[in-house]
Structure 1
Amino acid sequence: MNSTLLPEFLNDLPACAAQCFETAMNASSCATTDRWCICTGHSILETALGCYSLSCTPKQNLFSTNYTRAACGIHEESKASLTPALAGSLGMLALIMTCLRMAQRTMMKRSFGWDDGLILMAMACAAILNIMAFPSKCISLLEQAITNKPVQKHGLGTNIWTIPFEDITTQLKLLLIAEIFYMPAEALTQLSFLAFYLRIFPPGNFRYIVYTLAGISICFGISNTLIMIFQCLPVSYFWNSWSGEATGHCIDINTYSWYRAAMQIAMDLSIIALPIYPLSKLALSRRKKTLVLLMFCTGFLITVVSCLRLQSLIRFSKSANISMDNNPAIYWSMVECDVAIVCACMPCLPALLKPLLPACFGSRYYASSDNERTPPVKLERIRRKDEFSVLSTAVSEDALMASRG
């Protein structure tokens, strides 16, 4: 951008943007031939770009912003590779853990339960959520392979003014799909935890609490899914509203995010903390009891991720650069679902690791005192009918009944 190119530059801008840039130039002390002053003396660019957003339509604003920044040679930040990397790594870990859980059931000839079916459904929803990170990335790589041109910026995590208009719409569609499948994935994982509790803990008041939480989780999951689908009316307004050319309205997503996050964190903490007291009463050695409690407490990671996801959603709801700021909303949703599935599948690991680490995952059953040791006949029955071992020790349905002594 120099004295000969400046008129051409202004002619290429929409009239609203050209007027904004000329006004910013007139208010500055930079010469029209001083490219360095114009582009690095932030007052001109900040004034012009701010004026674009106020004086131009959304599409004119994006075009003018991209054209101005490109003329100044400003490097554009990109985090397009972060979401696919997280989706690939954590998504694969969740899938491996789910497969190990199913393998443990099959190899050890243990019956499948509701908790297994629910975690499979949660994994299916999470898989769709993870796949949302890849379509635009794959398109870019395919274009590069065919045309031998630089990869086009189709992916999430790039500044909104650098991508084609149609890709903005596509990204918002992907975001909506991801959020819709996030809701049932989350609820199904919670229900899998609760069904697992019903499997391993004996009847009593504890079960009534589990059933109550399950009912709340079902209602919460269904209502959240419906709210996500119909947060804008018409539904298409969610992905068309950015252009300013569509008509419709949306709920206050900021307020809803706070409400949903508060309920979600309360549910997560309730479900994770629920088994701590009965587990502390198990007739296990102190070392094994500590390991069991630590394994269940890893579920608190889910709550931490939920808080991080809330922060990203609030930032996205206030953002004008939605292509960049919806990236954290996508990847924290994926991370939360994947981490929850991994935590739900952790109890299968000790049974599979027992042959490799017999010292850590031995098969002795402990009683709460020397006078209350489980009879050998009952030990044998427990060993044969061990429904679902947490540490391949005493945490099966029959073993828990025996350990209550």
Structure 2
Amino acid sequence: MSSDLDHNPRGRTAFIISTVFTALAFCFVTLRLYVRFFLVRNPGVEDYGVSLAMLCSIGLTMCIGFQAQWGMGRHAHDLQPVTMQKSLEAFWASIIVYHLSLGLTKGSMLLQYRRVFTTRKFRIGNSAVMAMVISYTLWTVLASIFSCIPVRAFWTREPARCINQTALWFVNAAVNILTEFSIAILPIPVIRSLNLDQRQKRALIAIFAVGGFVCLVSCIRLQSLVAVSNSSDPTYDNPSAAAWSSVESSVGIICSCLPLLRPLVTRWLPDVLPSYKRSFKSKQKPYATMSSKNCREDAKHQKEFSLELQPIQKSSSGSSEDRNWDIQVITEIQVDVEGGSGRLSGWLSPTAKVSELNTIE
């Protein structure tokens, strides 16, 4: 491959950019899996989903390399028909793995949200966006595979029934940006309603809205698609769109991993993310006790909290007379939350509901 790329600087540049960003995404996925499987020891379906997305992103980079080897970045009139056909075959495969990677990454982020935010309204919104992502991904993958009937007509250019490729690209790109924007803003209303100071709210919003950077990359990619669609020499002008497609896939994977790497950073670089205090207020019954799930003594983390209703055996040095009063008790519990200490404090009231708090793992 190297000998062909030496005489194809545009294709070589696209392949190098794709390789660099894919390697970065692979590093972030590796760190994420290390945190989930070995530090907090609580992997979820979303971790397997992002791993599959990473495999698709690697496949996309390989397809871009094959396209560059077989003529992407060179003028169409300089290519032999056989070389052009091989390049189109790689292009056809790259479109499929590109959409699979995006869909799996978005699904992983939504499953991650579902683990963290447990309110009913949020889960309804999350499920609606998830349904849109699943439908969009199925459509884009199937439309990419069967864009021509018979399928081989995509690269052989034989007479066939084919979808308008330019229209398909722009419709898919528009829906893609819409879903990415929806995912980026989905948790913001819930975070704003939390009883936290403004600094903590802004920090949480920044963590979850980092996916908005993917929207910016998608818009840049859309601009490169416009250039290719208006080009009279698409093989020469396609490297930019190919490179940005790979960057979009890799950046999406990186953004989905970033919120989960705090335990690793606080363990290896404690001065970068020092311990901080967090206060949560809630009303609960006086006979509610706190328990933790999935504790690890060696890591000294407590990741999830749930409230279990149990009667408290009360003892009194004075009168043992039962009182049917609306007693309010302030409880304060100091815990370590994934490398940083957190504090739970709340008013416990017999007329209030029991709530559940899940922290990011």
TM-score (norm 2): 0.74
CA contact (8 A) 1:175 1:330 kept: no
Cα shift at 1:249: 3.3
C-alpha displacement at 1:291, in angstroms?
Answer: 2.5
In the aligned structure 2, how far is the partner of 1:208 from the partner of 1:309? Answer: 31
Residues 1:401 and 2:354 aligned together: no
Do the aligned residues in 2 keep the contact of 1:309 with 1:329 (CA within 8 Å)? yes
Gaps in structure 2 of 5+ consecutive residues: 1-6, 306-336, 344-354
Match of 2:264 among 340, 347, 352: 352
Question: Which residue in 2 is equivalent to 1:327?
Answer: 239
SS in 1 for 2:261: helix
Q: Distance in 1 between matches of 2:8 and 2:22?
A: 26
Within the candidate set 134, 146, 152, 1:230 is matched to 146
Which of the two has greater helix per residue? 1
CA 1:202 to 1:391, structure 2 compared with 1: closer, same or farther past 3 Å?
A: farther
2:107 pairs with one of 191, 195, 214? 191
Out of 172, 177, 182, the residue aligned to residue 98 of structure 2 is: 182
Shift of 1:198: 0.6
1:256 aligns with 2:168: yes
Aligned with 1:313 (options 222, 225, 240): 225
**Separation in 2 of the partners of 1:109 and 1:368?**
22
- 1:401 aligned partner, one-letter code: L
Structure 1 unmatched runs, 5+: 1-75, 140-153
| 1:310-344 Cα deviation digits (max 9, x unpaired) | 23233333433121122223212111110000000
Identity of aligned residues (%): 26
Q: Number of matched residues?
A: 302
- Could you say if the C-alpha distance between residues 370 and 386 of structure 1 is closer, same or farther in structure 2, counting changes exceeding 3 Å? closer
2:11 alignment partner, SS class: coil
Aligned counterpart in structure 1 of residue 28 of structure 2, from 94, 97, 121? 97
> Does the 8 Å contact 2:275/2:341 carry over to 1?
yes
Q: Which residue of the partner structure matches residue 123 of structure 2? A: 207
Change (3 A) 1:186 1:88: same
Amino acid at match of 1:115: E
Letter in 2 for 1:317: S
- In structure 2, give the amino acid aligned to 1:157: G
Please say if residues 351 and 361 of structure 1, whose CA atoms lie closer than 8 Å, have aligned partners that are also in contact: no
**Per-residue deviation, 1:358:** 2.6
CA contact (8 A) 1:88 1:130 kept: yes
Q: How is 1:265-284 mapped onto 2 (pairs within 5 angstroms)? A: 265-284=177-196
Aligned-partner SS, 2:41:
coil
Out of 207, 217, 224, the residue aligned to residue 295 of structure 1 is: 207
Higher mean C-alpha displacement, 76-85 vs 318-327: 76-85
Deviations 1:177-219 (A, max 9, x none): 0001111111111111100001111231100111111111111
User: Contact 1:110–1:387 at 8 Å: present in 2 too?
Assistant: no
Report the secondary structure of 1:80's partner residue: helix
CA positional deviation for 1:155 = 4.6
The answer to whether residue 342 in structure 2 is matched with residue 386 in structure 1 is no
CA distance in 2, matches of 1:335, 1:196: 22
Are 1:367 and 2:279 an aligned pair? yes
Q: Does 1:84 align with 2:40?
A: no
Structure having the higher strand fraction is: 2
Residue 390 of structure 1, CA deviation: 8.3
Q: Could you say what secondary structure the match of 1:91 adopts? A: helix
Is the CA contact (8 Å cut-off) linking 1:100 and 1:348 kept in structure 2? no
- The counterpart of 2:87, out of the listed 165, 171, 174, is 171
Distance 2:62 2:242 in 1: 11
Q: Which has the larger radius of gyration?
A: 1
Give the aligned CA root-mean-square deviation in angstroms: 3.1
| SS class of match (2:52) | helix
